[in-house]
């Protein structure tokens, strides 16, 4: 269901938006403010007989000229002051209208209030004047004063009352007195009991006033008057967090009754995503996109769900499209797009996206840059990005050491990577994750004993760590013949995270080493499907080759090396197996 926007509501919202605009270069022009009320109403026509008879002496003419010239030159504050002064002198509604518009445009709300009071007094039937008056009163928290004007507008435009009630909650500022809003809503809707929109307005007001039970009662009343009405269904589900069976049943019934409703489908998608039903959530989002390819929430939702499902290309496509349609979202979505580009080994593009990150993710994105520059061979930029990282807190010091080690690995200098982490451990011996990281570089450098010692130290500090259990189990399986001990760690890790592709890969590789080829193949197939990484692919290819499926083994290696052409593990397997 598509709600018709109340013209009355649209005018009020335009008024509030204009009032919120600060003065300066971004302030709307006088002509823009003039046109705002006309989005809902035609320009007011004034009865010539009711207009004051102005004696245009030299002083008045000069004041008019000052106001007009100031407006034409963009000096809106001076123009507003001049026109408000004229409105006070003349009491002419036309002058007051112009004064009010210029005052709003210049952000001078006190002047706008004065001008609008003159305007409404001079032309009580002018709806744009009342609309602006209501906007200003609400902006100032003068709810009771706004009530008189709202009732007058309801009487003048009864056909707009219902859509107004559905949207009136958008008029209140975040600091408004919620109880006062509730009481106003109850009074305004008192005469409209047969109207489901009135009960909806009450429900929102009750909810905002922390009275959820009464909000539910009003929603039930609205749905009794109009069964499966979309706004009431969606709000009821929202209040219940979509977790209870009754809400889910109501949403399903509404979807069946109105299968083309994007808002209903989006609500179903959000609930599915919140409950980790990612496949179902993706289907909901894509059904919305099939009807409206540019629906922003569906694009972002489908993109994030695709990331969860490791559908990297699809995720990149959806999120890129959403930024193209809404460039303001770039700062928020940039970290995700950077991650996706990185996963696809599009390192220059990843750097570009990470550089656009804003807010809380900006610092995390900056941490990705040194390694990416090193991958691209841009070593001076890698060093510069590394120096730019903060080291004020303990966590920042840990992060920088880990990132510097990554840079040394990209430069194929494992000894410097190990040395970097050894220096960090000397400063921060209580930080377990440094031992974990150093173990990985020691393993790559061929120091199995050192890697094992670090992982045992890590597990002594964090005995329940799944990552630690997996890493130690994998090293024992890959570098030694202590398979029974490796089994202990990997089975324990698998029991905690049976869908983790990294653990599936480790356990599958152990089973291969143990000669359990069928079990190994099943585990590696599942791991590769969830995470088509080069090392996982290399393990899978080796098992396939051992089982005699050399064609598929070659296919897997070709796939992973097409994406990660420099992966050492996959290259070694291909050379050794002659594929």
Cα–Cα distance list, 395 to 113, 370, 390, 434 (Å): 53, 17, 10, 11
**548 belongs to a structural domain:** yes
**402 belongs to a structural domain:** no
**488 belongs to a structural domain:** no
**125 belongs to a structural domain:** no
**190 belongs to a structural domain:** no
- Token readout for 51 is 């207009």
pLDDT score recorded for residue 49: 66
Q: In the chain, how many domains are there? A: 1
What is the distance between the alpha carbons of residues 203 and 166, in angstroms, rounded to a whole number?
Answer: 10
Count other C-beta atoms under 10 Å from residue 330's C-beta. 16
Parent domain of 569 = 532-579
Q: Give CA torsion, residues 309, 311, 314, 317, to 10 deg.
A: 90
- Helix, coil or strand: residue 217: helix
pLDDT in tens, 443-486: 999 999 999 999 999 999 999 999 999 999 999 999 999 999 99
**558 belongs to a structural domain:** yes
pLDDT score recorded for residue 82: 86
- Token readout for 324 is 């193209």
Count other C-beta atoms under 10 Å from residue 210's C-beta. 10
CA nearest to 296, candidates 266, 267, 268: 266
- φ/ψ of residue 352, rounded to 5: -60, -45
- φ/ψ of residue 243, rounded to 5: -95, -25
**538 belongs to a structural domain:** yes
pLDDT score recorded for residue 135: 77
What is the distance between the alpha carbons of residues 569 and 517, in angstroms, rounded to a whole number?
Answer: 20
What is the distance between the alpha carbons of residues 558 and 545, in angstroms, rounded to a whole number?
Answer: 14
**pTM tops 0.75, yes or no:** no
Mean pLDDT by 10 residues, the chain (579 residues): 41 40 28 32 62 72 79 84 86 87 83 83 78 78 80 83 85 79 91 94 92 93 92 89 80 88 90 88 93 93 91 94 94 94 93 93 93 95 95 95 95 95 96 96 95 96 95 95 95 94 95 95 93 91 94 93 86 90
**576 belongs to a structural domain:** yes
Measured N-to-C along each axis, helices 245-257 and 230-239 cross at an angle, to the nearest 10 degrees, of 160
What is the distance between the alpha carbons of residues 497 and 481, in angstroms, rounded to a whole number?
Answer: 25
pLDDT score recorded for residue 69: 82
Sign of the alpha-carbon dihedral angle for 208, 214, 217, 218: negative
Burial class (CB in 10 A: 0-12, 13-18, 19+), 556: buried
Q: Long-range contacts: 325-333, Cβ < 8 Å, 24+?
A: 325/294, 325/296, 325/299, 326/296, 329/296, 329/300, 330/356, 331/356, 331/357, 331/358, 331/359, 332/358, 332/359, 332/361, 333/300, 333/303
Burial class (CB in 10 A: 0-12, 13-18, 19+), 88: middle
Whether the Cβ atoms of residue 437 and residue 402 lie closer than 8 Å to each other: yes
What residue spans of 173-295 are helical by DSSP H?
178-189, 196-208, 212-225, 230-239, 245-257, 262-274, 278-291
């Amino acid at each position: 269901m598509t709600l018709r926007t109340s013209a009355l509501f649209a005018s009020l919202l335009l008024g509030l938006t204009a009032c919120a605009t600060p003065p300066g270069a971004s302030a709307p022009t006088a002509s823009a403010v003039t046109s705002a009320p006309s989005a809902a109403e035609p320009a007011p026509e004034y009865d010539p007989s009711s207009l004051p008879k102005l004696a245009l002496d030299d002083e008045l003419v000069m004041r008019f000229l000052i106001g007009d010239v100031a407006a034409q030159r963009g000096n809106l504050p001076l123009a507003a002051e001049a026109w408000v002064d004229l409105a006070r002198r003349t009491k002419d509604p036309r002058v007051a209208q112009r004064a009010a518009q210029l005052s709003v445009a210049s952000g001078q709300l006190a002047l706008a209030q004065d001008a609008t009071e003159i305007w409404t007094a001079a032309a009580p039937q002018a709806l744009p004047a009342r609309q602006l008056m209501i906007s200003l009163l609400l902006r100032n928290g003068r709810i009771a004063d706004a009530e008189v004007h709202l009732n007058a507008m309801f009487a003048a435009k009864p056909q707009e009352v219902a859509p107004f009630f559905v949207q009136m909650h958008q008029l209140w500022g975040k600091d408004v007195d919620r109880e006062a809003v509730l009481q106003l809503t109850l009074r305004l809707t008192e005469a409209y009991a047969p109207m489901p929109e009135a009960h909806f307005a009450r429900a929102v007001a009750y909810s905002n006033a922390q009275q959820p039970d009464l909000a539910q009662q009003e929603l039930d009343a609205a749905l009794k008057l109009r069964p499966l009405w979309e706004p009431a269904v969606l709000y009821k589900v929202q209040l219940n967090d979509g977790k209870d069976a009754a809400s889910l049943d109501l949403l399903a019934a509404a979807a069946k009754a109105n299968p083309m409703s994007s808002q209903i489908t989006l609500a179903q998608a959000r609930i599915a995503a919140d409950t980790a039903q990612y496949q179902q959530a993706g289907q909901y989002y894509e059904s919305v996109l099939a009807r409206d390819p540019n629906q922003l929430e569906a694009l972002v939702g489908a993109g994030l769900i695709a990331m969860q499902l490791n559908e990297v290309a699809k995720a990149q496509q959806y999120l890129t499209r959403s930024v193209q349609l809404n460039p303001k979202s770039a700062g928020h979505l940039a970290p995700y797009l950077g991650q996706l580009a990185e996963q696809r080994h599009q390192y220059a593009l990843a750097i570009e996206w990470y550089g656009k990150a804003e807010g809380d993710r900006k610092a995390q994105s900056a941490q990705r840059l040194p390694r990416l520059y090193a991958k691209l061979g841009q070593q001076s930029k890698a060093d510069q990005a590394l120096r730019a990282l903060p080291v004020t807190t303990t966590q920042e010091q840990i992060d920088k050491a880990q990132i510097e080690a990554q840079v040394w690995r990209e430069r194929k200098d494992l000894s410097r990577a190990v040395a970097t982490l050894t220096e960090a451990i000397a400063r921060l011996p209580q930080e377990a994750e440094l031992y974990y990281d150093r173990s990985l570089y020691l393993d790559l450098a061929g120091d199995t004993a050192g890697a094992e010692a670090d992982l045992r130290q890590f597990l002594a500090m964090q005995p329940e760590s799944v990552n630690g259990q997996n890493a130690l189990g994998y090293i024992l399986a890959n570098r030694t013949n202590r398979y029974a001990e490796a089994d202990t760690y990997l089975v324990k890790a698998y029991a905690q995270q049976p869908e983790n592709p990294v653990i599936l890969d480790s356990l599958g590789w152990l089973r291969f080493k143990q000669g359990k080829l069928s079990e190994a193949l099943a585990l590696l197939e599942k791991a590769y499907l969830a995470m088509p990484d080069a090392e996982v692919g290399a393990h899978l290819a080796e098992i396939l080759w051992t089982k005699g499926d050399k064609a598929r083994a070659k296919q897997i290696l070709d796939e992973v090396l097409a994406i990660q052409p420099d992966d050492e593990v996959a290259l070694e397997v291909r050379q050794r197996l002659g594929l």
